[in-house]
Amino acid sequence: EPRVFSGIQPTGIPHLGNYIGALQSWVQLQEQYNTVLYSIADLHSITVPQDPGTLRASILDMAACLLACGINPSKSCIFQQSQVTEHAELAWILSCLTSMPRLRHLPQWKVKSQTQRNEGSVGLFTYPVLQAADILLYRSTHVPVGDDQVQHLELTQDTARLFNRIYGDFFPIPRAIMSTSKKIRSLRDPSSKMSKSDPQKLATVRLTDTPEEIVVKFKKAVTDFTSEVTYDPEGRPGVSNLVAIDSALTGRGTEEIVQQSRGMDTSQYKLTVAQVVIHKLSPIREEMQRLQREQSYLREVLYQGAQRAQEMAAPVYDSVARMVGFR
Ligand code: TYM
C-alpha cells in the first residue's frame, strides 16, 4: 500500500521555493493517495539554535500555512514531529547503522556547519538520519521534495536497504517525487537556491509577502544583459528561474511561455511574473491571516494529526524493536 510522507522545518514562513518544490505537490498528492502524512519537523529545526518562543509560534504558523496552501486535514495527516516520539527512537537505531563518512558529505552539514560555532552540533551532523527515520517510520513509499533533498533521500534508501539486509526485509525503498521546477533560485543570485535563511531581503519571496513587496522583489530580480525572454537554465539562470516560477504556477510549459513572451523584454516579463505570483499567493496570504487567529483550531488539527501518526508509527516501531532484539 503506497504511503506518502514529507516534512518541512518550522523556521519561518515558507517561500516560493518551498511552495513550488514541495507544498504545491503535497496538495495534489492528498487527492491521489489514501495515506498521506506531512510533518512539521521541529526536531530538525533545533539542529541550529532557535529561540523557544519563536519556535513555538512558528510551529502554529506553519500549521496555518499548510492549511492555507490547501492541505486538508481530513485527507492528510498534519502533525508535529516531536509529538510522535518514535521518530527520535527510530533515528537512534538507524544512526547505529550509519557510518560517519557517509554523513560528512551531505549538504546540510557541509553548508550549515561552517556558519555555526564549534563546527555545528552532533544533531546537525546526524540530521539526515533523523530524516530517514521520519520516512521509514511509516514505511513510506513516496516522498515529495525539492531538488535539495535528493541526497537525503538517497541516504534513506541506503539505510533501508542496509536494515533489510541485516535484519530481514522490512522497509520499502522510498522514491522521491519531484515537481518539474524542482529548484527555485534566489532572485538576487541565480547561482544559489532560494532559501529561508538568505540574509538578502529581496532574494526570497515569502508566501505572506504583500503584492507591493512581490512587485519590488521581481522588479529587482537579477537577470543578465540580454533583453529577450528565453529558457536556458545553464546559460541564463536568472531569467530561466522566472520562467520556471511562471511555469510552475500557471501550468504552462516553458516553451509555451517563451513563445507567448515574444516581443516582451525581461523587465516587462518580470512584472508579468510578479502578477502571476500575486494572483497565486494572495488567497494563501489572506487564508493564513484568518487561520492565525484560530489558534485553538490549529492546536486541535495538530493534536489529531499526532494521534493518527502515532497510531501508524507504533506498530512499525514495535516490529523494528523486535527485529533488532529489544523485545
Ligand atoms: P525544508 O524545510 O528546508 O524545505 C521544505 C521543502 O521545500 C523544498 N525546497 C525547495 N524546493 C525548490 N526550490 C527551493 N529553492 C527550495 N527550498 C526548499 C525542500 O526540498 C523541501 O521539500 N529536511 C527537510 C524537512 C524534512 C523532510 C523529512 C522532508 C524533515 N523530515 C522527511 C522529507 C521527508 C527540510 O529541511 O526541508
Q: What stretches of 204-294 show up as alpha helix (H) in DSSP?
A: 211-219, 237-250, 254-260, 266-292
User: Does the beta carbon of 42 sit less than 6 angstroms from any atom of ligand 1?
Assistant: no
- Does the annotation mark 219 as catalytic? no
**Closest atom of ligand 1 to CA, residue 193:** 15
Q: What is the domain partition of the chain in residue ranges?
A: 3-183+295-324, 208-290
Mutation test residue for ligand 1: of 148, 154, 156, 242, the one with most atoms within 8 Å of CB: 148
- Does the annotation mark 75 as catalytic? no
CATH number of 3-183+295-324: 3.40.50.620
Give the confidence band of 182 by pLDDT, cuts at 50, 70, 90: confident
Question: How many angstroms is it from 9 CA to the middle of ligand 1?
Answer: 7
Span 201-256, pLDDT tens digits: 999 999 999 999 999 999 999 999 999 999 999 999 999 999 999 999 999 999 99
Helices 295-324/86-95 angle, 10° precision: 40
Backbone angle region of 112, left / alpha / beta, with phi > 0 → left and psi within -120 to 50 → alpha: alpha
What is this model's ipTM?
Answer: 0.99
User: Does the beta carbon of 312 sit less than 6 angstroms from any atom of ligand 1?
Assistant: no
Give residue 105's pLDDT: 84
Give residue 42's pLDDT: 98
Annotated catalytic residue within 182, 183, 193, 280? 193
Q: What is the spatial distance between Cα 205 and Cα 187, in angstroms, rounded to a whole number? A: 8
Question: How many angstroms is it from 227 CA to the middle of ligand 1?
Answer: 33
pLDDT higher than 80, residue 300: yes
Q: Which CATH class is domain 208-290?
A: mainly alpha
Residue tagged 498534519 (cell numbers): 78
